[in-house]
């Protein structure tokens, strides 16, 4: 019985170590480009991670010794998940070729970065001739947002180049913007429930502003998150007024100027302040 428990602990430790290794690589690659964590927060997290990993010992002698080690590894994994937003839900590897100087492994990896799910499948070729070299090939990526033409082009570019770390770095920024948009929509819906509606929910890409006291007039704020083939993420916002014919006749000039005024406010005030200002102006109408 003890041997079975010991083996189960060892298997879990190996799986946790593999997840930590993968997330540490991603963390090192993206931490300098993070826009949602300060340098001080990142350095503090990395130092905390290093202190915890130093306490993990090798070769435990008994099952009871493995419990603290598992706890340390789980804490490290939670820290990396908080820092990067990544959560790996499954990982498997299979050695398909092994010689004295060459080994080929097939990997399958699935997980989420905030609300964006992904699946990867690739081959890792490792050669040890005069120097050790590693090559990634046959990369296949599945993302839930691939129906978006921009995301589809990005995924195809990453697959063609075998650029796994670039994929993770770009996905982190892309998912952070999705999460930022979700939190912003949630904030305004909670603060102005009578004015703000979310026809597609918090994960949609637009909100509707309507003042119950002004029938026949509503504003749609569209917030797209574009991802190009190189992995650069860009939020794109616009304002689309929807006005009944009767209301339009009364306020033609002011309605026509709203989209350009909103775009100008974005540049001066930022996204949240520009939306808040628009809601307050709409709410003041009688």
Mean pLDDT of all residues in 175-182: 93
207 vs 221, 261, 281, CA distance in Å?
5, 18, 16
Rounded CA separation 192/232 (Å): 33
Whole-number pLDDT of residue 11: 64
pLDDT digits (tens, 9 = 90+) for 150-164: 888 999 999 998 888
Mean pLDDT of all residues in 51-60: 49
What is the H or E stretch that residue 285 is in? none
Residue 87 pLDDT level (bands cut at 50, 70, 90): confident
Whole-number pLDDT of residue 60: 46
Residue 19 pLDDT level (bands cut at 50, 70, 90): low
User: Is 140's pLDDT higher than 90?
Assistant: yes
DSSP 39-102: HHHHHHHHHHHHHHHHTPPSS-SSHHHHHHHHHHHHHHHHHHHHHH-EEEEEEEEEEEEE-SSE
User: Is 74's pLDDT higher than 70?
Assistant: no
Residue 35 pLDDT level (bands cut at 50, 70, 90): very low
Mean pLDDT of all residues in 112-138: 84
- And the tokens for 178? 């999705």
pLDDT over 70 for what percent of the chain?
64
Domain boundaries in the chain? 86-144, 174-284
User: Is 272's pLDDT higher than 90?
Assistant: yes
pTM of the predicted model over 0.85: no
Whole-number pLDDT of residue 183: 94
Residue 61 pLDDT level (bands cut at 50, 70, 90): very low
pLDDT over 90 for what percent of the chain?
28
User: Is 225's pLDDT higher than 60?
Assistant: yes
């Amino acid at each position: 019985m003890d041997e079975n428990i010991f083996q189960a602990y060892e298997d879990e430790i190996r799986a946790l170590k593999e997840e930590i290794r993968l997330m540490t690589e991603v963390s090192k690659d993206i931490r300098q480009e993070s826009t949602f964590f300060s340098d001080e927060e990142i350095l503090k997290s990395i130092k905390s991670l290093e202190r915890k990993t130093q306490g993990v010992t090798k070769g435990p002698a008994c099952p009871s010794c493995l419990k603290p080690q598992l706890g340390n590894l789980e804490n490290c994994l939670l820290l990396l998940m908080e820092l990067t937003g990544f959560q790996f839900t499954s990982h498997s590897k299979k050695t398909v070729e092994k010689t004295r100087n060459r080994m080929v492994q097939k990997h399958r990896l699935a997980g989420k970065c905030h609300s964006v799910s992904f699946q990867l499948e690739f081959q890792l070729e490792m050669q040890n001739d005069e120097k050790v070299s590693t090559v990634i090939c046959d990369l296949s990526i599945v993302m839930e947002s691939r129906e978006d033409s921009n995301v589809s082009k990005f995924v195809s570019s990453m697959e063609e180049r075998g650029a796994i770390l670039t994929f993770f770095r770009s996905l982190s920024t892309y998912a952070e913007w999705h999460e930022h948009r979700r939190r912003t929509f949630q904030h305004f819906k909670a603060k102005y429930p009578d004015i703000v509606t979310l026809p597609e929910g918090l994960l949609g890409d637009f909100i509707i502003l309507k003042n119950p006291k002004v029938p026949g007039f509503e504003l749609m704020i569209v917030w797209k998150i574009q991802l190009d083939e190189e992995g650069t993420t860009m939020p794109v916002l616009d304002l689309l007024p929807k006005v009944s014919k009767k209301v339009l006749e009364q306020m033609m000039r002011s309605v026509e100027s709203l989209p350009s005024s909103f775009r100008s406010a974005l540049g001066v005030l930022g996204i949240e302040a520009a939306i808040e200002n628009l809601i307050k102006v709409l709410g003041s109408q009688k």
